[in-house]
Structure 1
Amino acid sequence: HFINDSTSTTPIAGRVGVEAFSGCPIVLVAGGNSKQLPLENWPDAIVRNCRDVILLQGTGTAELVPALRKEVARQGASDPLRGIYDNFTAALDRAVSLAQPGDVLLFSPGFTSFGMFLNEFDRGDRFNEYVQGLKAEASS
């Protein structure tokens, strides 16, 4: 299941996206540039709910990584972080390689798209194009 929550541009929206699929195996693609907002409980939600996490490079990601590591230690959980990417397609390729049948591949960035995309809508369109490409490959 591919979920496009690309309009998630704040940590709270990212947390809500993750919690919406609580109980499902989640491969999360997140990250980007910060709006200087608090991370709230997003790192906690990620560590509790996501088996695998792929991050897109950016200032927000630079804030999120140490918070995730702190949360992993606090919960005594395994580290879900599988890589930080400066290339969107490479990040999605890695996420797909980690996903198993029945998993939710959730694209819920939690940060802005600036630097890598024109805006969150361009980011969402690129995700949709990627997924459509996978479907086309699977049907050929």
Structure 2
Amino acid sequence: MSANIRLVVVTPEKIVIDEDARIVMAPGSLGEFGVLNGHTPFLTSLNIGALKFVDEAGNDRLVFIGGGFAEALPDKVTILAESAERRREIDVARAKAAYERAMQRFEQPTMNQDTIDILRAKASMLRALTRINIIEGRVV
């Protein structure tokens, strides 16, 4: 069996994850990427999405990532996230309410489609849907 890789997920408020993993898969801005021990170093930006990893015991784990940056080294992956939540920390009622608020912004007939509100509503909707999908097990 190959060696594990250290996974550290940090937000401005706290350390969310600091443990060894067999593999780490993250939502890069150019697409999902995976990192195993011994990977070539790289740095990339992250999209909103699900960070997936397999822990030392072989369990699949999910973490919500609200964008940020990732640094992969041969023995460590560091995620500097704007926001991050372990699956068990996600408040599904709050996520569903955020989704509904975002949908209401799209349905307002007076909203100018060129405003920044559309971009903010899309980002809010994506964050909410990602959280809901993580909780409901719809992340592949």
Higher relative contact order (CA 8 A, sep 6+): 1
Tell me the TM-score normalised to structure 2 length.
Answer: 0.28
Computing the radius of gyration from Cα coordinates, the structure with the larger value is 2
Q: Which has the higher helix share?
A: 1
Q: Which has the higher strand share?
A: 2
